[in-house]
Chain A
Amino acid sequence: MQNPWRNAAHLIRPALVFVAGLLVFLLLRQAVVPASFGQYGHYRGAALVEIRNAPAHFAGEAVCAACHPGEAATKAKGKHRTVHCEACHGAAASHAEDPEKHKPARVEIGKLCVRCHEEDAAKPAWFKQVRSREHSGGASCEACHQPHSPQM
């Protein structure tokens, strides 16, 4: 009986080339595709952690109130109770971390109050607005209003 494998060489050789090619592909793929790719979906799962680890610049109302309870209490009773500290004082996470080294910039009262409260037909009617020039005659807002509790 004849050996059925006597002409198999022409099959084995291309099979070996195919397997070698597949190996090279798998090795390259292993090296090129990031480890966490596909962890959650068609993207690098580690990117979630990297994005999450970015530092925050705004500390948040609770952090401010922890060290400044007096101001927080005054504000909570006044008309500006919905306005968070950093809405006027600016981002203060660095100040919260090192209060001596990083001081929040002084608030520019003239610019700040007007930005919200200058009369504008596009602003909703419920919002308190004034024509600053007629309203104060050039006097600083602070002369009459306390920003933490802006009653007269």
Chain B
Amino acid sequence: METHVTRRAVLTQGLKLLVLGTAVEGQAGAPKVAPEAGSGYNPRDHLWAMSIDIDRCIGCGNCVRACEVENNVPEGYFRTWVERYEIRGADYEHPHVTSPDGGKNGFAPSADRTLKQFFVPKLCNHCLDSPCVQVCPVGATFDSPDGVVLVDSSYCLGCRYCVQACPYGCRYIHPERQTVDKCSLCYHRITKGLTTACCEACPTQARSLADLKNEADPIHEFLRKNKVQVLKPHMATRSKVYYKDLDGAVR
């Protein structure tokens, strides 16, 4: 069946929507602007990052479970997850990568000592040149002044551009809110002097929260004394999740 859309109808509907939108925004927007003062936290004094020591990760999944609890991550979605890499001989171009349920309940033990095997914890890389931030059409995904890539879920349209733009697969659409969601580096914790939930729960200190602007932070020694690599350096995202002893097979 053919429907007739007249110019008058489009304009009338458009005007109604505009007026309605303005009214809703006016009501919802006003009380949300909370004052910055009084928190004692100045975002410009920090630059948050994370260091990950591959050789300390035992694949227990504590970080995944802690993240789920701390950030109310919906079942089947992950802000952080752990991958197990299996590489046979020199075939580092075809690693076998598994992450059952994000590694949340650990991994089935392997007895095969002829393979090279190791665990790689992953999360948002909080890039300094984030592709996800660059593609967001409305400014719902942004770099905070302290170097954390955050999502303003009340402003997100759910257009999914950023989900496709992230080279690391760190974003998902929240099944209930239908807006994008991702690791916030526990922004609600690190700005209060706590560490992230994943670092809090990691039994071997494979992960450490780092503040690059704090000269006393062990991250500086970590970067200086170890063989450090970021994921997909050729993407020029200037990732801030620094891996120690990262194998070349890791994507």
Contacts and interface: CB of A to CB of B under 8 A. Distances in A.
Interface of A: 28, 31-32, 34-37, 40-58, 60-61, 80, 82-84, 86-88, 90-91, 115-116, 118-124, 126-127
A66 B142 CA distance: 37
Contacts, number: 158
The 3 closest A-B pairs by CB, nearest first: A122-B117, A43-B142, A47-B152
Interface string B65-81: 01001100000000000
B203 A82 contact: yes
Interface residues of B, number: 66
A91 B123 CA distance: 20
A118 B69 contact: no
A32 to B, nearest CB: 6
B142 A56 contact: no
Interface centre among A31, A55, A120, A122 (most CB of B within 10 A): A122
B195 interface: yes
A99 B119 CA distance: 37
Interface of B: 18, 21-22, 25-26, 29, 32-36, 39, 41, 43, 55-62, 66, 69-70, 84, 86, 105-107, 109-113, 115, 117-119, 139-145, 150, 152, 154-155, 184, 186-189, 191-192, 194-195, 197, 200-205
Contact of A31 (B22, B58, B106, B111): B22
Given A60-B200, A122-B118, A122-B119, A44 B139 contact: yes
Given A48-B144, A124-B56, A43 B70 contact: no
Main secondary structure of the interface of A (DSSP, over half): loop
B188 A56 contact: yes
Given A42-B139, A115-B106, A121-B113, A48 B200 contact: no
A57 B197 contact: yes
Nearest to A34: B29
B32 A116 contact: no
Given A28-B22, A122-B59, A124-B55, A116 B66 contact: no
Main secondary structure of the interface of B (DSSP, over half): loop
Given A56-B188, A84-B201, A35 B33 contact: yes
A121 B115 contact: yes
A90 B69 contact: yes
Contacts of A119: 109, 111
A127 B56 CA distance: 8
A88 B203 CA distance: 9
Contacts of B29: 34-35
Nearest to B109: A120
B188 A47 contact: no
